[in-house]
Chains A and B, each alone.
Chain A
Amino acid sequence: MVKLTPSLVAVALCVALSGCNPAEQQDPQVVINTNPYPSTYHALPNVTTLLKNAIVLTGTGERIDDADLLIKDGKISAVGQQLSEESAVVIDAKGKWITPGIIDVHSHLGVYPSPNAESHNDGNEMTNPVTAEVWAEHSVWPQDPGFNRAREGGITTLQILPGSANLIGGRGVTLKNIPATTMQAMKFPQAPYGLKMACGENPKNLYGGRNELPMTRMGNMAGYRTAFIQASEYKRAWDKYNADYAAGKNPVAPERDLMKDTLKGVLEGDILIHNHCYKAEEMAMMIDLGKEFGYHAGTFHHAVEAYKVADLLAENGNCAAMWPDWWGFKLEAYDMVLENVAMVDAVKNSCAIVHSDSGVTIQRLNQETAKIMHAANDNGFEITEQHAIGWITSNAAKSLGISDKTGSLEVGKNADVVIWNSNPFSVYAQAEKVFIDGAKVFDRNDAAYQAQSDFMLGQQ
């Protein structure tokens, strides 16, 4: 069906246009399937649920006290005070806090799972500096016990990325954090793919150590540019093929190239860039690199120096995903400041995100955010909880291209919701109940909602 429709259109055009040769016999049009491993995700069993009397942080900057939240058909149906719904299961959340489900834009769960074992180290295809042809989803081990621990920390959505050994490391995939036996069953429907790129030390050290390009940061830039030059030619060839076919000709399709398919997707705006890039000067160059080839430079991850170029990031519509306090493990991570996220956030049109890159801190992105909020407020900022929660919800959703579906408690959005037993920015706070698409997927007080990996079963 996918193959047939464009050719019918082409034939119809041909008939309508003069100067077209209707006699030319067309072979079936070659169309690249952009979704060969489709999501099979279904929401887990869910009921209409009314959460009552909580402090609600909507993810859009609002805080509503004594608020109710109605979940119906897996969606946020209403947020406000004194809601009622006869058919609903009512949960009294007095004294508790409700936030959108937490989103981590940078995780390696499933591709670098626990236990750490050679057998499961599937996150870095360290065989070539450009491996745009690999897809992280093909490495995901859904039984990674870390998915369950992350859910217990309120994580409902997460992007799994390849590692940062390569200049272009491959595609990332966005997952719903439900327990499943296949990757496809976790795959976030209609979420765009990400492409992992890496600046700086990792690629140049790895390949330089092998006496290969890149050995330097200028080698890094040459590597990206060479790849995008090839991708641009590839895209041009496909565009010409499609135009010729549409014109009724019978062109020969370009030879498929898996690596360039992905980069073509970037050039067409279908695949979003997620760029491991610590340093101010490198982010500036990656923004220009995107302009050179006509794509958007996307989100900068591990952006330790983002505070130095906060204006530039906002002007160019780039998100920056950051840790609160990781530093010193590499020279490119030397200039950490605890207030980085707040300083990026302070600029108009900014998009500041807190990310984990860790199976440990992904369990406490709320606390990671608290570190920043309080450090910033000790130094002249006035950041509220309702604002800061956006760093791990709505801004993260924006970065992943899913903000129309999740990341805030707005009517019509997926009911990805966390009930916290207290202020989520307290060290003592714990996620008490977690919902994904309205289905309860974790309950701290009910063993029936505490998923365990096959791997942990029967271990003594």
Chain B
Amino acid sequence: MTLFNKSLLALSLSAGMLLSCAVKAESVAIINATVHTATEQGVLNQATVVFENGIISAINPQNMPFDRVVDANGATLTPGFIAAMNDMGLVEVGAVATSRDASDKEADIIFDPSLAFNPKATTIPFARKGGITRNIVTSGGGESVFAGETFVVDLTGDFDSVLATNTGLFVQLGAADEGSRAIGMQQLIHKLDDVKKGLFQDKKAKDKDDEVSREDTVIASVLAGKKPLIVAVDRASDILHVVNLKQKFDIDVVIVNGADAVLVAEQLAKANIPVVIDAMRNLPESFDALHNSLDNAAKLVKSGVKVAIALPGDSHGVYALRYSAGNAVANGMDYNDALAAITSNIADIFHLEGGRIAVGQPADLVLWSGDPFEYSSKVQMMWIAGDEQGLQSRQDALRDRYLKKTAMPAAYR
């Protein structure tokens, strides 16, 4: 173990130098790794993973010269974890209005929160410490049931870390603080209906010079299957309406939260609708969420539903995603399913690359000191698109400052 640390240290140092030169073209081989591929290949022991130009170029190659070798000494290598449905980079401090851009009263179908994204948010390096390399950022919405569009970022913290914008339309349905939930559902159904009719008419009368509204363009791309309709909803009766929508309009639908999803798991599996859940949710938080349970993730998988695990909402605690997966395992989920739930499944559900260790995939890789779901493990090394990442956050700087004892005040340390 000591040897391992030393070799990692040496390698990190050289990586640091390389990083500063930004030599992306070099080929790197991680050897002697226990590779959790999050693919049908399962776990590969004593494996070699090679990447160059930010892409995984080979697994267990016969012969190949490498610019650099990282000896994992048997340690676990996983795909970078992918977080989703949180406001990372949109909120620095929840209660400081001027540092908060996740929600807006006027947020609606065309709300594009990616314009507010700050790659220098302190939440990002902290989340990296949890092995997270990508994130599907989501707004908190506003007064409308339509909460704007999701976007995808990597966690490099670089100014070019927004990978894709307008990737999915987020809708929040269910219990209403005032009035009836029916109105929200109705608005969604009508919007899909109206735009679909409009599209049909447009085809018939091509010379019509009415411009399609920005809103309708978004809905049209959902109807065309170009982006998912991401629906936060809990109660079974509401979920079934969404299942019907999928069937009626033949659209790509993702259920988020889904406290009652276990009650309608069969319908969800049949309609091929995935569920993104918070696996730690087990309180009957509301009358919409009486069926929250720690074993919901396991139950949904057993029913044939594609499951991803997320920590929806605030982004300050997203680093703990891996512990959610661990708890899902403790409550009956298969280990590989739990790993898929924060890697390949989430990538599939939101149509992004990554989440797998396979040739051609982005080299988003994390080398762990042990079982990635355990508290006793930590990230040893991390790469995002082949670039090695720093693992220090503002929290580490504060800790180190106050662990030192000097005659002068802490501010000088």
Contacts and interface: CB of A to CB of B under 8 A. Distances in A.
A249 B287 CA distance: 61
Nearest to B319: A325
B287 A115 contact: yes
Interface in B98-149: 122-123
B290 A459 contact: yes
Interface size class on chain B is: 35 or more
Interface in B387-413: 395-396, 398-399, 402-403, 410
Contacts of B93: 328-331, 334
A39 B395 CA distance: 44
A328 B92 contact: yes
B399 A379 contact: yes
A380 interface: yes
Interface in B256-309: 280-287, 289-290
B261 to A, nearest CB: 15
B283 A360 contact: yes
Chain B facing A: main interface SS: loop
B395 A115 contact: no
B249 interface: no
Interface string B313-335: 01011011001001101100000
Interface stretch (B56-64, B182-190, B371-379): B371-379
B393 to A, nearest CB: 9
Interface string A326-354: 11111100111111000100000000000
A430 interface: yes
A405 interface: no
Interface in A371-424: 371, 373-374, 378-380
A145 B283 contact: yes
B96 interface: yes
A455 B286 CA distance: 12
A371 B378 contact: no
A337 B374 CA distance: 19
B283 A146 contact: yes
Contacts of B280: 360
A26 interface: no
A371 B373 CA distance: 12
Contacts of B122: 328
Given A116-B286, A328-B94, A307 B402 contact: yes
Contact of A378 (B123, B289, B330, B378): B378
A116 B402 CA distance: 39
Contacts of A336: 395
Interface string A199-210: 001000100000
Contacts of B3: none
Contact of A326 (B123, B317, B402): B317
B317 A149 contact: no
Contacts of B282: 149, 360, 363
B1 interface: no
B95 interface: yes
A429 B327 CA distance: 9
Interface in B333-357: none
Contact of A325 (B91, B317, B402, B403): B317
A316 interface: no
Contacts of B289: 115
Contacts of A360: 280-283
A205 B94 CA distance: 14
Contact of B283 (A149, A325, A374): A149
A331 B95 contact: yes
A113 to B, nearest CB: 9
Interface in A174-204: 201
Interface in B163-181: none
B279 to A, nearest CB: 11
A307 B286 contact: no
B330 A430 contact: yes
Given A114-B284, A115-B285, A363-B282, A427 B399 contact: no
B283 A330 contact: no
Contacts of A114: 283-285
A370 interface: yes
A368 to B, nearest CB: 10
A359 interface: yes
A348 B378 CA distance: 29
Given A325-B320, A338-B395, A455-B284, A428 B402 contact: no
Contacts of B287: 115
Nearest to B374: A427
A425 interface: yes
Nearest to A370: B375
A367 interface: yes
A460 B91 CA distance: 38
B179 to A, nearest CB: 15
A21 interface: no
A425 B399 CA distance: 22
Contacts of A370: 375-376
Contacts of A339: 399
Given A145-B284, A330-B95, A337 B398 contact: yes
A329 B378 contact: no
B336 to A, nearest CB: 15
Nearest to B399: A337
A308 B289 CA distance: 40
Contacts of A205: 95
A428 B330 contact: yes
Contacts of A427: 323, 326-327, 329-330, 373-375
Contacts of B395: 327, 336-338
Contacts of B327: 364, 367, 427
Which of B123, B280, B289, B376: most chain A CB closer than 10 A?
B376
19 contacts: A115-B286, A115-B289, A116-B285, A327-B316, A328-B91, A328-B92, A328-B93, A328-B123, A337-B396, A337-B398, A337-B402, A363-B282, A374-B378, A379-B399, A380-B403, A427-B330, A427-B375, A459-B284, A459-B290
Interface of B: 91-96, 122-123, 280-287, 289-290, 314, 316-317, 319-320, 323, 326-327, 329-330, 373-376, 378, 395-396, 398-399, 402-403, 410
Q: Which 7 A-B pairs have the closest CB atoms?
A: A427-B326, A328-B316, A370-B375, A329-B94, A330-B95, A337-B399, A114-B283
Given A114-B284, A328-B93, A456-B290, 13 more contacts: A114-B285, A325-B317, A328-B91, A329-B95, A330-B93, A330-B94, A339-B399, A343-B403, A360-B283, A371-B375, A374-B375, A427-B323, A430-B330
Interface of A: 114-117, 145-146, 149, 201, 205, 307-308, 325-331, 334-339, 343, 359-360, 363-364, 367, 370-371, 373-374, 378-380, 425-430, 455-456, 459
